[in-house]
Amino acid sequence: MTSYLIKGVSVLGGEPADLLIRDGVIAAGGRADEVIDAEGLVALPGLVDLHTHLREPGREDAETVETGSRAAALGGYTAVFAMANTSPVADTAGVVEQVWRLGREAGLVDVQPIGAVTVGLAGKQLAELGAMATSAAGVRIFSDDGHCVADPRLMRRALEYVKAFDGIIAQHAEEPRLTEGAQMHEGKVSTRLGLTGWPAVAEEAIIARDVLLAEHVGSRLHVCHVSTAGSVEVLRHAKARGVRVTAEVTPHHLLLTDELAASYDPVYKVNPPLRTAADVQALRQALVDGVIDIVATDHAPHAVEDKECEWAYARPGMVGLETALPVVLSVLGEQWELIAERMSRAPARIAGLTGHGTDLAAGTPANLTLVDPSARRVVDPAGLASRSRNTPYAGTTLPGRIVATFLRGEPTVLDGKAVK
Amino acid sequence: MIKHLRSAADLDAETATLILDTAGEMAALAGREVKKLPTLRGRTVVNLFYEDSTRTRISFEAAAKRLSADVINFSAKGSSVSKGESLKDTALTLQAMGADAVVIRHPASGAPHRLASWVDGSVINAGDGTHEHPTQALLDAYTMRSRLGRIAGLRVVIVGDVLHSRVARSNVLLLSTLGAKVTLVGPPTLVPVDIAAALEPSTEVSYDLDSVLPDADVVMMLRVQTERMQDSFFPSAREYSRRYGLDVPRMRKLPEHAIVMHPGPMNRGMEIAPEVADSSRSTIVEQVANGVSARMAVLYLLLGGKA
């Protein structure tokens, strides 16, 4: 195994120092086979994404575990969680083990499958959560993401059941009766554009219900892609009461607003939808305050034909792995300690993932990424490693460039390029 | 001149007035023995209709033919994604055939905007989803001007399912541009609360039809689909009709000069009583005739004719 000396790197924005990587871990000292001049670069613990769609099995034309892993490594990630809405749905031990094995074979990031809460994501009957938990994939996070577990009794049972193996339910908060036919945020832009609205209350009502359920049964709840100022207030209240709830926000909800829908270009169609500037401000503040615990991409690749059409017929979602850190940098600035917490440590902690999100101290697994904060990059969809091109940032200049990423001491990215 | 007519917001007051003036000249033509102008000879206008709308399609077809354009009717009913060709592929086909203008009617809001990004010719929105129907607004404005002599300063009341109405959206935008004052009336479930902020700040909203009629110069009744009942937008057709239908007693509250409009097709007995629809105040049949003139003016000007 090649050893690396990363010279003059600023760990989390600190004074330049040398980092030695040997035998998969951070080493205290000694010689190295390769030297990386890291002057001006910042080292972060490898990023952890609790929310991606890698589309395999089923839509390998949009993404595979391998192409999604490569996109993740290029974005500075060392672990990603793959949502269950594949075809077939990841609702059995067999499917989650397949995804987990594909991740191991790609070997670019640790791919952790998320299991479906209900059979076929249909919201009727619990999937075999225990079998997925004890499978080789060791599933701990369960989600019907893309669909809300809307039935309150089923949600209560799911929250209770996973306590047996320290599981957590990640809820896609969307009251389905309030969002039938919904195309974008309900507000003055949807009114002008004649697109059916997705009201903020459809998210807030489910979060309010779920934090009360989680409190009632003493379980852990994770809220996916929080998108409204009202949701932030519900979460703030729940956390103050001591409810064991965590929450994520996507990079696009921290930066973009519903005004972009005016082009009717479905590259801006996403679920939950882009909200107002006031929501964006509230989400940014909540991320700083810790009411929102983490940033998760909701990386959602789609084939060209699913986006190059009328808005109403397009599938919702945006790719995000390769632009997440630059977007967060543009929003938070160079607050490296905060970024490490929200994009690496806290997601690893929520998921119970060991070996990731740890400080770069001697003896810990060498999962890390090196960032050049002074670089600026114009996002070019054709240059993405993801198999899909549906980025909302085409032509946008974003700060920061991921120079290198290491997974257990092996480089997955060097000089800004994927190693394999 | 603008290239596309996707929204009534594409029109400033000067352009809109030019279209209405041109429509007047086109209308004069209708009285002649030979109703045709050679202006668009050799130009191709495609009517691309993804929804059944015989009246709008015929109106555009008559308009294009009176200007001597070659007209191709392309009916593509049904979802373009679930079966058959995508809108983009259809657009590329029309492009290859050399369409100078594409008139599109589509169930998805914003389809004309998408189409305009894929073809070189002009795109004219003939109704997209629950978004807009700008040529309807033009023919309505033309009708108001013909009957009442002006648009600036008119008080126009639009009644009904504003939420789902492309006619209402286009009318609010165009009438405001031309200086009219619009009041939207309907049950709160069918009038988006932020419609004034969304479209035009001077727009007023009322839930009480009787209170706004005495000051109205124009009352425009929108078609209300009875299916909305199933989605609990209102309890029943009878209750809707009692609260928001224009019947004879309500018509009597209007000033002497006020006119009654409806874009058609009407639900007689629901949003409008037959006696009102057939009264001398009603402009419903005129609106149809004016539709051809207004669409002639749009085609003429967008395809490079000179006024």
Give the pLDDT confidence of A330-382 residue by residue, as tens digits. 999 999 999 999 999 999 999 999 999 999 999 999 999 999 999 999 999 99
Q: Is A185 annotated as a binding-site member? A: no
List the single best residue of A310, A311, A315 to mutate versus B (max B Cβ within 10 A). A310
- Residue A172 placed within a domain: yes
How far A192 CA lies from chain B's nearest CA (Å)? 5
Name the residue among A187, A191, A193 with its Cβ closest to that of B110: A193
- Residue A363 placed within a domain: no
Task: Name the residue in chain A with its Cα closest to that of B198.
Answer: A188
Any idea what DSSP says for residue B139?
Answer: H
pLDDT at res. B13: 98
- Residue A36 placed within a domain: no
Mean pLDDT, residues A3-22 taken together: 96
Q: For residue B195, which residues of chain A lie inside 8 Å, CB to CB?
A: 188, 191
Q: For residue A194, which residues of chain B lie inside 8 Å, CB to CB?
A: 109-110, 128-132, 166, 169
What CATH number does the domain containing A322 carry?
3.20.20.140
Task: Name the residue in chain B with its Cα closest to that of A181.
Answer: B108
List the single best residue of A193, A268, A276, A307 to mutate versus B (max B Cβ within 10 A). A193
**Are A310 and B106 a contacting pair at CB < 8 A?**
yes
Mean pLDDT, residues A173-179 taken together: 98
Contact B238, B262 (CB under 8 A): no
List the single best residue of A189, A259, A264 to mutate versus B (max B Cβ within 10 A). A264
Instruction: Report the mean per-residue pLDDT for chain A.
Output: 97
* Catalytic residue, candidates A49, A91, A298, A306: A298
Strands B218-221 and B204-206: unpaired
Q: Which residues pair with A112 in a beta bridge?
A: A81
Encode A63-128 in three state secondary structure. Answer: CCHHHHHHHHHHCCEEEEEECCCCCCCCCCHHHHHHHHHHHHHHCCCEEEECECCEHHHCCCCECC
- Residue A220 placed within a domain: yes
List residues of A whose CB lies inside 8 A of any B CB: 183, 187-189, 191-196, 263-265, 305, 308-313
Whole-number percent of chain A with pLDDT over 90: 99
CATH 3.40.50.1370 correct for B8-133+288-302: yes
Give the pLDDT confidence of B268-306 residue by residue, as tens digits. 999 999 999 999 999 999 999 999 999 999 999 999 864
**What would the two tokens of residue A349 be?**
């902690």
How far B83 CA lies from chain A's nearest CA (Å)? 12
How far B241 CA lies from chain A's nearest CA (Å)? 25
CA nearest neighbour of A336 among A39, A5, A74, A15? A15
Chain-centroid distance of CA A152 in Å reads 26
Give the pLDDT confidence of A293-302 residue by residue, as tens digits. 999 999 999 9
Backbone torsion region of residue A67, taken as left when φ is above 0, otherwise alpha when ψ lies between -120 and 50, otherwise beta? alpha
**Are B195 and A313 a contacting pair at CB < 8 A?**
no
Q: In what order do the strands lie in the sheet with B259-261?
A: B204-206, B181-185, B155-159, B218-221, B259-261
The backbone torsions φ and ψ at residue A397, rounded to the nearest 5 degrees and listed phi first, read: -90, 125
**Are A194 and B111 a contacting pair at CB < 8 A?**
no
**Are B113 and A263 a contacting pair at CB < 8 A?**
yes
For residue A130, count other CB atoms closer than 10 A to its CB. Answer: 17
Name the residue among B88, B132, B198 with its Cβ closest to that of A308: B88
The backbone torsions φ and ψ at residue A383, rounded to the nearest 5 degrees and listed phi first, read: -90, 0
End-to-end CA distance of chain A: 16
pLDDT at res. B77: 67
Mean pLDDT, residues A271-279 taken together: 98
List the single best residue of B85, B109, B232, B233 to mutate versus A (max A Cβ within 10 A). B109
**What would the two tokens of residue A177 be?**
């009766």
Q: For residue A315, which residues of chain B lie inside 8 Å, CB to CB?
A: none
Per-residue pLDDT band for B66 (boundaries 50, 70, 90) equals very high
Q: For residue A189, which residues of chain B lie inside 8 Å, CB to CB?
A: 198
Q: Where are the alpha helices (DSSP H) in A166-247?
A: 188-193, 200-217, 229-240
A380 carries an active-site annotation: no
**Are B198 and A310 a contacting pair at CB < 8 A?**
no
**Are B87 and A194 a contacting pair at CB < 8 A?**
no
- Residue A415 placed within a domain: no
Q: For residue B87, which residues of chain A lie inside 8 Å, CB to CB?
A: 309-310
pLDDT at res. A225: 98
Q: For residue A188, which residues of chain B lie inside 8 Å, CB to CB?
A: 194-195, 197-198
Q: Is A271 annotated as a binding-site member? A: yes
Q: Is A147 annotated as a binding-site member? A: no
**Are B114 and A311 a contacting pair at CB < 8 A?**
yes
Residue ranges of the annotated binding site of B for carbamoyl phosphate are: 55-56, 105, 133, 136, 264-265
- Residue A75 placed within a domain: yes
Q: Which residues pair with A318 in a beta bridge?
A: A299
pLDDT at res. B83: 58
Give the pLDDT confidence of A100-128 residue by residue, as tens digits. 999 999 999 999 999 999 999 999 999 99
**What would the two tokens of residue B247 be?**
């019947």
Q: For residue A313, which residues of chain B lie inside 8 Å, CB to CB?
A: 79-81, 108
- Residue A186 placed within a domain: yes
Per-residue pLDDT band for B30 (boundaries 50, 70, 90) equals confident
Q: For residue B107, which residues of chain A lie inside 8 Å, CB to CB?
A: 312
How far B6 CA lies from chain A's nearest CA (Å)? 11
Evaluate if residue B226 carries a pLDDT over 80: no
Mean pLDDT, residues A33-50 taken together: 97
State the Rg of chain A over Cα: 20
Q: Is A33 annotated as a binding-site member? A: no
Domain total in chain A: 1
State which residues form the domain around A221.
Answer: 46-357
The ranges assigned to domains in chain B are 8-133+288-302, 134-283
CATH 3.50.50.60 correct for B134-283: no
- Residue A306 placed within a domain: yes
Contact B210, B253 (CB under 8 A): yes
Instruction: Give yes or no on whether B8-133+288-302 and B134-283 have one common fold.
Output: yes
Mean pLDDT, residues B201-206 taken together: 96
